[in-house]
Structure 1
Amino acid sequence: MNITSHSMNSTEFIKSSSSSTSLITVTNNLQNTITVHNVFNITSCIIIIFMFIIIVLFSIIGNILVMWIILNNRRMRTVTNCFLFNLSAADLLTIFQIIPNVYYVLKNDWIFGIAYCKFSQFFTSFNIAISVFTFIAISSDRYTAIMFPLRPRSKLKTVICAIAAIWLISFAIGLPGLIVATVFPKNFSNLQNVVNTTDLLVVVNQISVDSPDQYVSNDCILNWSSEWSEAYDYTLFVLMYVLPLIILATTYIPISIHLWFHRGLGEVTRAQAQNVQSKRRAVKMLCAVMLIFAICWLPYQLFFILLQLSPTIKSSHSLPIVFICCYWLAMSNSMYNPIIYILMNKKFRKGFYTAFSCFPYCREYIKKDKKIKTNATSVHTLQV
């Protein structure tokens, strides 16, 4: 997350001071130009916090439940479900950066230090990459299984290696944020041209000591040139959004055509028809998961692209409001997947009811499911 606001005063100061590195000059100008804009009142803060609490609670409960269902049932440990387990783990990790980032936007101040600033900038790209590459791995596995059914299926060892590769590649994508992220005083994000980061933070601390009424708020930013920032944002947009959607389309469109319009030679047995129906349901569920991901993350991705295309909007007072809406939608993606699994997959739904079998309705569902299975087995035996 890289939200900064540059006032006209700070810009003029940077231009006029670019040839000087005097800490005294910097201190005097800082004291004269400190401004803090907070567009959120108490009511809006309460509403926003409540909305993010919903994400945190549903994400924790839902994703832990998905992981428990897969681990608790040996039949659920399929290749696709192993990747879904990885996706749930990534979604679960998302919640650990929500609270600090929401505080940052609402209070217009980064109070968590340089270490967590680096982690936060790293983790956003890292987390998105895990989800995106997991989707690609799932689509590749589904494409091979459905389009080339005679090929041997991926073994557990291969899946584990693929997941490890996903995490390593994702780490590499997030690495720039870990390296160049730093904390700068608000409205002075370009002061690295005047003094180094350490000296600047010393100045800010000294201002706080000498003038307690002059509080200097901070930004957590990527400390590099605007050219590098622009290149990085565009690269992430293409690499983490556009290209994956193209890959997913080129795999799921042929899969859908094959499952819904392809007719095999000869008579189709009941077992074959059920197998096709099962694959269709799985593809529908996976497409729903990926579609929700694309919808949730699109505004967030476009937000930073628009900042690059039109830098003047950075001075807009409504910018934090727009960002918090985009950020909420992006983070909310972590709570939707478990809901989709339960609604669209019978095995996950059964696992959900089993987990909450202490409730009468869930116990009743499990009993009905057992009766249906028993009756189906009896009918099959009589037919044989």
Structure 2
Amino acid sequence: MENCTNVTNATCVDGDSGQGYVLNTRRKVMLSIDILMFIIGFFGNGSVIFITLRHRGLRTVPNLLITNLAFGDLMFIMSVVFINILYPLLPGVHLYMFHFCEFFYFVQFLSLGVSVFTLTALSVDRYTTVAYPMHKQRIARRLTIWTVVIIWFISIAVCCPWFTLINDNSCWFNKSISSAIYLISLMMLMYIAPTIIMIVCYFLTAKRLLHKNASLNLDPRGGNKQQKKRSRLAVIVLVMTIAFILCSTLVYVWFLTAYFSPFNRFVTNQVVKETKSLLNKINSVINPIILYLMSTTYRRYFLQHFCFFLKCSNGKRERGIITQTQPSTNGTDLARQSTRLVNVPLREGMAPIKEEDSRI
């Protein structure tokens, strides 16, 4: 039995001889990368989910959407990447039973669908927040959960045809008109259309922000703290969007080319195939890295819990810098409250971060 596909990190050697799979040097490097990606993706996405759900002040609309993004990436890490690690290490386990190929492609593109639709929702949210701030405050929270449900429903519906169009023996599409239509539609629905929407939203958001920044500069009273927070979050989501586009473009281009021109040098090149696979995995681990590098609030919470679990006291009680809100002079204008830095314990009894300081 010679039934090997490009979805694993193993080298096939005469399956009927009982020797199963062996790893050459290049495959060992790829396996090491998979293990590294699994560790970073599991703890990165898992910590984002834990921190957002653990702290009530962080459950804002954009943060909940970012958490949904982390759920989609974690699903990919726990299924596809985890199986890629196990398959060459456990040659006796026949993972290609029970329609494994269909499941592999389904989960891979389901994760891409959740990511692109969530990033699209985030871009629309950033525009509506900047363009219609008061109107958005009244309705956005009620729509967030429904938005997440719709994202998963659409992603699952779009990816279900993988189970009917894939030949399990070859682990590839059956040659038919329906397969060609599906691949083209998949790229339109999950790549081209969302990308256009995101570009338009960020163009309009940037235009609004530049106009509002100019207005704030003319205001002698200042009061642009909230505007800076919105601008920072817009930049974070923009960086996530650019990372997604860069990582997913090669995936879609390769699949389309492989179907319509299977013997093309671009398709058969091993470096291209491994780069495609690597970019797909990077896409599932890079969002938490971007969030922790650019968001001071999430980074502060991450360090707080990291120190707590590792008990990094060195015989003394560790102290961290936590932002607390100083009472306003008039007691009403929360948007203009000043902040001061105080040293408080990172363990039990730590003063919580106020909700207005818990945003990105």
TM-score (norm 2): 0.75
Equivalences for residues 74-85 of structure 1 within 5 A? 74-85=56-67
Alpha-carbon distance in structure 2 between the residues aligned to 1:51 and 1:45? 10
Instruction: Find out whether 1:252 has 2:216 as its counterpart.
Output: no
Specify every segment of 5 or more residues in structure 1 that has no aligned partner in the other structure, as ranges. 6-33, 35-39, 185-218, 380-384
Question: CA separation in 2, counterparts of 1:143 and 1:315?
Answer: 38
Q: Give 3-state SS (helix, strand or coil) of 2:168's partner.
A: strand
Map of 1:359 onto structure 2: 312
2:330 maps to what in 1?
Answer: none
1:314 CA displacement: 7.3
Q: How does 1:1-384 map to 2 (within 5 A)?
A: 42-95=24-77, 96-101=79-84, 111-153=95-137, 154-184=139-169, 219-222=170-173, 224-262=174-212, 263-264=214-215, 267=219, 269-271=221-223, 273-313=224-264, 319-357=269-307, 358-359=311-312, 367-370=320-323, 377=339
How much has 1:239 moved relative to structure 2? 1.6
- Say if 1:4 and 1:314, in contact at 8 Å, map to a contact too: no
Give distance in 2, aligned partners of 1:56 and 1:332.
10
- Cα pair distance change 1:183/1:315, threshold 3 Å: farther
Describe the shift of the 1:63–1:268 C-alpha distance in structure 2 as closer, same or farther (beyond 3 A). Answer: farther
Q: Tell me by how many angstroms 1:173 deviates.
A: 0.4
Q: CA deviation at 1:295?
A: 0.7
Stretches of structure 2 lacking an aligned partner (at least 5 in a row): 7-15, 17-21, 328-337, 342-360
**Structure 1 CA distance for aligned equivalents of residues 273 and 243 of structure 2:** 19
CA distance in structure 1 between the partners assigned to 2:128 and 2:25 by the alignment: 52
Per-residue Cα deviation, 1:327-355 (whole angstroms, up to 9, x for no partner):
11111111111111111111111111111
Paired residue type of 1:98? V
What is the CA-CA distance between 1:116 and the residue it aligns to?
2.6
Which amino acid is 1:150 matched to? M
Q: Deviation of residue 270 (structure 1)?
A: 3.2
**CA gap 1:68/1:144 in 2 versus in 1, 3 angstroms:** same
Superposed displacement of residue 157, structure 1: 3.5
Shift of 1:155: 4.3
Give the aligned residue type for 2:49.
Answer: M
Of Structure 1 and Structure 2, which has the larger fraction of its residues in helix? 1
Which has the larger displacement, 274-283 or 259-268?
Answer: 259-268
**Equivalent pairs, count:** 306
Q: CA deviation at 1:307?
A: 1.9
Could you tell me how far apart the structure 1 residues matched to 2:118 and 2:266 are?
37
**Rounded Cα–Cα distance in structure 1 between residues aligned with 2:340 and 2:153:** 50
SS state at 1:114 partner: coil
The equivalent of 1:212 in structure 2 is none
- TM-score normalized by structure 1? 0.70
Larger RCO of the pair (alpha carbons < 8 Å, separation 6+): 1
